[in-house]
Amino acid sequence: MQDDRYHDPETRQARAPETELDRDPATGHPRPPRREFKARGSFVERCPGCHLPMLNCLCPYAATADSEARVWLLTHPMEHHKPTNTGRLIHDVLPDTEVFTWYRTAPDERLLSLLADERFAPFVVFPDDQPDYAERVVGIDAVAEAKAAGRIPVYLLLDGTWRQARRIFRKSPYLDALPVLPLRTERLTRYRLRKPASAAHLCTAEVAAELLRQGGDAEAAGVLDDYFDAFNDSYAASRRFEKIEAPTAAMQRLLARKG
Ligand SMILES: [Zn+2]
């Protein structure tokens, strides 16, 4: 099992034991072993394109869409390499999506420069359940106002577990000046790959789809929702060792987009 430390469980490819990815750039300390997702799926053959088990590869359903708003992901390091992470689905559908890794002591320089770029109007997406930042909370209409002012609205999503997202929100001073946009929705999660604390807890791709929809990017939202459903169904079926023989309705819509 020791040998497993040096294999990426997603790709089953050997990786160098001492790459910079193995060390936290802030401290130089070795990163914690990636235990969380080793237990499941380590020995499944995965597609190099979509990283899903080969049994139900997602690649035929890959689709892109245009949107006025953009999505930036600030992803907790523990979340980055999990095959069940849905943040990467957003990047697949919206290629302008930016993905940053969060480190408490070393903010990403590119993120800092983008936050300072006047072309963008970034909103940090977070619940409005604490009083100490109430004056920064805005509604979805602020997205339309940003567009009217000629700026590109950006949904900055804190990608991790609820605890990790709260930590990112609280421990990142460069987010302190941003407006806070809570997602208000009656939608319940359709994510089946991890057990949510509550059905009201949406996964990252679902949050993005809902914000896009509410913010006026209905087509992009629909494509992302379909792609998320295809991912969810494909992955769940592979875990049961079942092959999906007939494409689902969402899969058929994605195939139709290719013409
Ligand atoms: Zn694939």
Residue 173: per-residue pLDDT: 95
Strand order in the sheet with 98-101: 98-101, 70-75, 152-159, 120-125, 180-181
Say how many Å lie between the CA of residue 53 and the centre of ligand 1.
8
Query: Rg for the chain (alpha carbons), in Å?
Result: 19
* C-alpha 156 – ligand 1 centre gap (Å): 27
Q: Distance, CA 227 to ligand 1 centroid (Å)?
A: 13
Predicted confidence at residue 13, as pLDDT, reads 41
Q: pLDDT tens, position by position, for the chain (259 residues)? A: 333 333 333 333 434 344 445 555 555 566 555 544 444 555 689 999 999 999 999 999 999 999 999 999 999 998 877 888 899 999 999 999 999 999 988 899 999 999 999 999 999 999 998 899 999 999 999 999 999 999 999 999 999 988 999 999 999 999 999 999 999 998 888 998 888 777 888 999 999 999 999 999 999 999 999 999 999 999 999 999 999 999 999 999 999 998 6
For residue 46, report the distance from its CA to the centre of ligand 1, in Å. Answer: 8
Res 4: pLDDT: 33
- What is the CA(57)–ligand 1 centre distance, in A? 4
Cβ distance 164 to 78 under 8 Å? yes
Q: What is the pLDDT of residue 27?
A: 56
Residue 37 CA to ligand 1 center (angstroms) comes to 19
State residue 112's pLDDT score: 97
Cα of 187 vs centre of ligand 1, distance in Å, is 29
211-to-56, 96, 135, 197 alpha-carbon distances in Å: 28, 16, 21, 21
How much distance in Å is there from the Cα of 251 to the middle of ligand 1?
14
Q: Give distance in angstroms: CA of 196 to centre of ligand 1.
A: 26
Centre of ligand 1 from the C-alpha of residue 7, in Å: 20
* Ligand 1 centroid from CA 101, angstroms: 24
The pLDDT value given to residue 201: 85
Q: For residue 10, what are the contacts with CB-CB under 8 A and spacing of at least 6?
A: 46, 51, 81, 83
Q: How far is the CA of 79 from the centre of ligand 1 (A)?
A: 20
pLDDT at 138: 97
Residue 23's pLDDT is 56
CA of 254 to the centre of ligand 1 (A): 15
